[in-house]
Amino acid sequence: MKIATACTQNPDAVDAAQTLARTLLGRLKAPKLLMLYCTEQYDVDALQQAMVVLFPGVPIIGCTTCCGVMTQAGYTEGPTAAVWACSDEKGSYGTSLVPHQAHRPIHESARIALNQAIEESGRCGELPKLIALHSTPGDEETTLAAIREELGVSVPVIGGSAAADTVGGQWAIFDNKQTARSGIAISVFYPTARVSYSFHSGYAATTKKAIVTEVRGRTLVSLDHKPASMVYKGWYEEETGQKLDLGDSLFARSTLYPLGTQTGKIHGLPYYTLSHPMFVNQDGHMELFSQIAVGQTAHFMTGTSEGLIARASRVVESANDHALRTPQPLGGLAIYCAGCMLHVKDRLDQVADNINTALYTAPFVCPFTFGEQGLFKGGELSHGNLMISAVLFHKD
């Protein structure tokens, strides 16, 4: 297995595709899979179609990314497009995109996408070593549950929800057959390389917590039977010593202070799935980027800018399995939350340098997404916000 990446800032979709292809084919031959990312400034249909022409018959999966993309060459600001590719003579790969349809349940769309991707890989009846998931924001928990139910076990997942430069932007997902503004794209990996993974947040729980007493989808209504927005406001002001105007930039202000629910424990220490508050709606309720269930304990979490910069490399280090053997990564994939990226945007080259060190300078690509999916070490498939998901491929 060999891995290579390419990146361009050519603003024309067709020219960008040609630049990516030329660079990529100078680094590896006969790619078996392409993972494509671009900022919202591109004509996504034209970019996808050009890549299909340039790489006929090669499975493609990808999505739009917030503001830019990161590779081993550093952070590249939009307009930009980047591609990750692997050649793997004895490996197998497949992709499928299923657009959402009003009459079809989300879990059925997820099941169809998964099975079509497995069928395209030619490895029906075998569990993939890895699944890559790119869906549009909104129903990621249902999608992950469907994947887990269909396979019967928790297969490692690396996932990021399509993003744009703003929450109301033009996000999209794509495979080698179509693009969609709403849907689920899945890729299955049967590589000859060994796969390792890591998924976590790097935030710490404070002593502030409450029981979730009412939710409506991803709308958090009450905590301990009190208005959730006012509970959060009190926590924030007590923790930071700063006033919080719930109608002013809650998305940005809450980046270092999300809510967390305990997902499990490792060596007696709890780990959390995070939910990032977006805004307070006209009814005074908090809209989140992920679901919290009634009866769960919501913890007020805290993080730091330095932590956001350092943690990407820590996640990669965790995936390296140092205790098991000497790392020899061939390359990797990373997913970094767009909200975190925007908070440390002026230091993203430092983030890339840290990942390069942890990856021993092996090639990687990292989009910035509106939701992250991964498999915790405890075996839980989870969708969260402000998370980092990483997968490494190693010489076996």
d(CA 168, CA 387): 21
Among the ranges given (16-25, 92-101, 165-174, 331-340), the one the predictor scored with the smallest mean pLDDT: 165-174
- Tell me the pLDDT band of 167, cut-offs 50, 70 and 90: confident
226 Cβ contact list (under 8 Å, min separation 6): 210
144 Cβ contact list (under 8 Å, min separation 6): 133, 157, 159, 373, 381, 382, 383
Spell out a b/e string for 188-203, using b for 16 or more CB atoms within 10 Å of the CB, else e. bbbbebbbbbbbbbbb
Give the mean pLDDT of the chain. 93
Provide the pLDDT for residue 203. Answer: 92
- Tell me the pLDDT band of 245, cut-offs 50, 70 and 90: very high
Provide the pLDDT for residue 325. Answer: 64
Residue 323: pLDDT over 80:
no
Residue 391: pLDDT over 90:
yes
pLDDT in tens, 246-275: 988 898 899 999 999 999 888 788 989 999
- Tell me the pLDDT band of 51, cut-offs 50, 70 and 90: very high
d(CA 271, CA 125): 33
Provide the pLDDT for residue 2. Answer: 97
- Tell me the pLDDT band of 324, cut-offs 50, 70 and 90: low
Measure Cα distances from 362 to 3, 357, 394 in Å.
8, 9, 10
Q: Are strands 329-337 and 219-223 parallel, antiparallel or unpaired?
A: unpaired
Find, among 9, 136, 11, the residue nearest to 75 by Cα. 9
Provide the pLDDT for residue 110. Answer: 97
Q: Are strands 157-160 and 130-135 parallel, antiparallel or unpaired?
A: parallel
- Is the C-alpha dihedral spanning 44, 68, 66, 145 positive or negative? positive
Stated pTM of the model: 0.93
Provide the pLDDT for residue 321. Answer: 67
Give the total residue count for the chain.
Answer: 396
Residue 322: pLDDT over 60:
no
